[in-house]
Structure 1
């Protein structure tokens, strides 16, 4: 982790400001959250706006801390413009997957930057697979790819058990977005990091297998 780049500061600030507005203004939260019925009726802006709302400060902190950890890796390799493309693309693909999974659940709602952040996690790990993290009170470095895969496995658990008003399936759409967009922007990864490309595909494949088997 280096110094925070301007684009990361702007994204974190936008998430904090909009989330706190939502914490204190129920009408605002309801108007801009992801909601299947409202989106189907034409309010597609929710596909984007919901990515800047969070259910509480813990949800907000976890997403922004995770973004802080991984953002500068992506920016360092690909630049700020490609970072924004990956972030926004992952946010939108995350919500598209949620819409696909819940298209028949008129009242299904979710919020959070998790799709966008998971896309950045996957992008960063693809770009720098030897990265290690020190997490909270764990005294040993954890390989970043283990964190990334674990993050998605937790998301499967969250989807299966409907934990919180959080778009757990959006994590997967975001991961797919970050995965595909990064490989399109940095095709040289197929020559240098092929094993990591395969490892990071595994939880994505698992998701669709479980969905196909009716386990989610």
Structure 2
């Protein structure tokens, strides 16, 4: 696969900032997502946290996922629109985290997962017929099934606080990728409306659970 220049730049930025954070505790603490810090006016954390990672495995998994799906979005929508989707997904992921943890002053998080999940969901919208191969499943999985299942698991994780994972950021990033892609490529509503509606199911479920106080 020949990576586009913008994908290489984003991966490089994540690697450089993450490795700076690995070796500089003060830097990591200053730029990670932290509810208390954001409430003190340090909004830069909403963005900078998307380039920090906990460890090399966390970094590798996010960049590996980006490697596979970034150029699908770029090939369909172009470099500028890809950057818009990436940044909007990152920010919306942070906004979801802030919304769901607004009363947890010491809540912290890092990672490009929100932005990467947004790119993943955008790629699924643009090319729903593609298949994904998981390390532990020997058969291909239709991308739209993976996307829906991933978000349903994120809802489960948000509700039950499963693991030390920012499920809300993942979900917010996916919503960002979904909405921005439809704004930039409204033709999808005509050519593949059933898939657009199907991929919206987890979003509607999350909204309903929140409105009824179940989340």
The within-5 A match list for 1:1-216 is 2-159=1-158, 160-164=160-164, 166-216=165-215
SS for the counterpart of 1:190 is: helix
For 1:124 and 1:89, locate their aligned partners in 2 and report how far apart those are by CA, in whole Å: 15
Structure 1's 198 and 163: CA in aligned 2 closer, same or farther, altered over 3 A?
same
Q: CA deviation at 1:103?
A: 1.2
SS for the counterpart of 1:139 is: strand
For 2:17 and 2:152, locate their aligned partners in 1 and report how far apart those are by CA, in whole Å: 28
Q: After alignment, is 178-187 or 145-154 more displaced?
A: 145-154
Q: CA deviation at 1:66?
A: 1.1
SS for the counterpart of 1:54 is: coil
Q: After alignment, is 61-70 or 74-83 more displaced?
A: 61-70
Cα RMSD between the aligned structures?
1.4
Q: After alignment, is 118-127 or 205-214 more displaced?
A: 205-214
Q: CA deviation at 1:206?
A: 2.0
Q: Give TM-score, length-normalised by structure 2.
A: 0.94
Q: CA deviation at 1:172?
A: 1.3
SS for the counterpart of 2:111 is: coil
Q: Give TM-score, length-normalised by structure 1.
A: 0.93
- Structure 1: runs of 5+ lacking an equivalent: none
1:102-125 deviation line (CA, Å, top 9, x unaligned): 111111111111110111111111
For 1:123 and 1:199, locate their aligned partners in 2 and report how far apart those are by CA, in whole Å: 14
Q: CA deviation at 1:153?
A: 2.5
Q: After alignment, is 181-190 or 128-137 more displaced?
A: 128-137
The total of aligned residue pairs comes to 214
